[in-house]
Amino acid sequence: MEGLWTLPSITILLSAILMCIMLMYAIVYYRERGVRFFVWVLGCRVVYAGSVILEISRTDLQSKLFFRNIEQTALLFMVPLMVLFVLDLIGKDRWLRLRWSFPLLALFACWAVLIWTDPYWRIINRSQELINGHLVTTKSPYALAFNLLCYAIIAGCVFVLFRYIRGTRPEIRGAGMWLLLFGSIPASVEMMKLFMPTLSPWLLPLSVYSGICGMIMFWIILRKKLFTSVPVARNIVVETMHEGMLIMNTDGKIIDSNRLARLLLEDNGNRPILGRNYGEVLTAWPQWQSACAHMEECRIEISTQIGHEKKSYIVNIYPFFTQRQRKLGTISIIIDITEKQQTLEQIAHLNQMKDQLFTAVSHDIRNPLAVQVNLLELLEQEKGPSSQAGNEIIHALGEQIRNTYTIVENLMEWFRGQKEGIVLHPESLLVSDIVEEACRLLLLNCEVKQLTLHVHIDEDIRVYVDREALILVIRNLLSNAIKYSNQGGMIQISAIPTESRVEISVTDNGVGMSEEQIRHVFDETRFDSTVGTAGEKGTGLGLLVSRQFLQMCGGYLKVHSKPGSGSNFTIVLEGGDLR
């Protein structure tokens, strides 16, 4: 008798120890998905195995029936706990609320009551007898139907778990499949006992040994930390992220990916990419292959056809390392930029159309204005004192046309400065020649206002700049000086070399500017223009264009002015003698 009790005693002790460990595990990880229910599933399995051992060790019918009832009760509650475990694991929190879980538990609790009161009702077992010291029972049709329902529920849970585990990382997937296999062995043994009751004396001890599966399952859980938030959160985040992810090991084998990466890389036959070599999968992108082969950080743009749609992606490849900085492989992050690329192409097309339209319109406006300016110059040179009214009309018309021509010139140059890819052609130029050419068109304006123009520039001073850009800047500064000078005023243009730079100044003694007006001069967002001393109007683009072209030429503009004391605009450029 002592020999019979030795094995059960040891087994019960081990079961108690395992239960304590599982309880501690549940307390530590009670916030993690699935733990709170799965621990109770394993607990029921341990209770079942202990009851089987105690049943085998007993010889009288009543004792065997008592422990058989404990076994059946433990197996019974494993079913709803398994359902709750699966729902908790896959995140179906709504179904875990009391109003849904309570009816499920109540149903199985009622059946448990029937198990323990079956001697009075005879609903579950049709017969109970001892054969060669073993308890053999014959189930009623009601019990068979209910047991089939339980096994159908367990089969559904296993199917859901299989699909869930299949979508996790390889190392988690392998451990999860083993967990599923060990968990299915006891259920298979119970089904055999149900449909072949005559083999129950042989299958009962096997149930004890299959109870060891629960211990193995718990060891796998502890070792792989299957129910911690890391694998669960990883699966949720990686599969729902908008970027593709592809991970390769040092052998070039694909060990992990997510939905977007599979959509991009799986061939028409939908052959899985997991476990394949990067050379097979990335044949269309040699640069991507090279980065993965050398495990180097890289950024590339790729395009491919998915269905009937052309897709564009940016792929960022990063190597990952051990703590000792040994390369373990690469991770590729794939970002879909199809919509952005399409938008950029549309913008480029619209810009091209805008450029063509602006060029065509400005050409049609600029050329006739240039002809009108030349004709007016001829009329002004030939006009006589005979018709004072005619001379005034010619003068007014000349002012309007020159102002319009200056506006068109500034608009064209400003537009040219905004376009990408503009190319200036700097060269070493004599400052005196540039100033003379810039002043030629504005000499008549000075005569109308009876302004004195003094030019003090040494003939050997040179600057290194684009010719057309500098003419435009000086003409704009001189035009502003004329505009804001009083009748009979004076304008001076001078150039001073300072080390490697040259300063070209345009100074007037006109109305001047306040500090706020000077700030507006350097504000890129303002196009303010005040009326000149003779009612001249403008757009405010002249100084903006001048500053932009000076910056492109490597120079800058300085302004000094006071209200009523005139203004001084100084252009600072690189000297031309160094070239």
Mean pLDDT for the stretch of residues 300-322: 85
Residue 230 has a pLDDT of 46
Least confident span in 147-156, 252-261, 504-513: 252-261
Residue 528 has a pLDDT of 66
Query: Above 90 in pLDDT, residue 134?
Result: no
Q: How far apart are CA 402 and CA 406, in angstroms?
A: 6
Q: How far apart are CA 187 and CA 183, in angstroms?
A: 7
* Cα atoms found within 13 Å of the Cα of residue 324, Cβ hemisphere only: 1
Q: How far apart are CA 238 and CA 233, in angstroms?
A: 8
Query: Above 70 in pLDDT, residue 116?
Result: yes
Residue 275 has a pLDDT of 78
Query: Above 70 in pLDDT, residue 571?
Result: yes
How many other C-beta atoms can be found within 10 angstroms of the C-beta atom of residue 325?
Answer: 6
Residue 229 has a pLDDT of 45
Mean pLDDT for the stretch of residues 270-296: 84
pLDDT bracket for residue 139 (50, 70, 90):
confident
DSSP string, 368-421: HHHHHHHHHHHHHHH--TT-HHHHHHHHHHHHHHHHHHHHHHHHHHHHHHHSTT
pLDDT bracket for residue 1 (50, 70, 90):
very low
54 or 490, higher pLDDT: 490
Specify the pTM.
0.42
Q: Which residues pair with 572 in a beta bridge?
A: 503, 556
pLDDT in tens, 532-562: 887 776 666 677 778 888 888 888 999 999 8
Place of tokens 């500064």: 477
Q: How far apart are CA 494 and CA 455, in angstroms?
A: 6
Q: How far apart are CA 535 and CA 448, in angstroms?
A: 13
pLDDT in tens, 360-380: 555 556 656 666 666 666 666
* Cα atoms found within 13 Å of the Cα of residue 529, Cβ hemisphere only: 16
127 or 221, higher pLDDT: 127
pLDDT bracket for residue 14 (50, 70, 90):
low
pLDDT bracket for residue 56 (50, 70, 90):
confident
Residue 360 has a pLDDT of 57
Query: Above 70 in pLDDT, residue 414?
Result: no
pLDDT bracket for residue 2 (50, 70, 90):
very low
Q: Where are the alpha helices (DSSP H) in 196-297?
A: 200-224, 229-240, 259-265, 278-281, 286-294
The answer to whether 317 and 295 are in contact (CB under 8 A) is no
DSSP string, 138-198: EE-HHHHHHHHHHHHHHHHHHHHHHHHHHTS-HHHHHHHHHHHHHHHHHHHHHHHHHH-GG
Mean pLDDT for the stretch of residues 351-358: 65
- By three-state DSSP, how is residue 291 classified? helix
Query: Above 70 in pLDDT, residue 286?
Result: yes
Q: How far apart are CA 405 and CA 475, in angstroms?
A: 12
Residue 403 in tokens = 């102002």
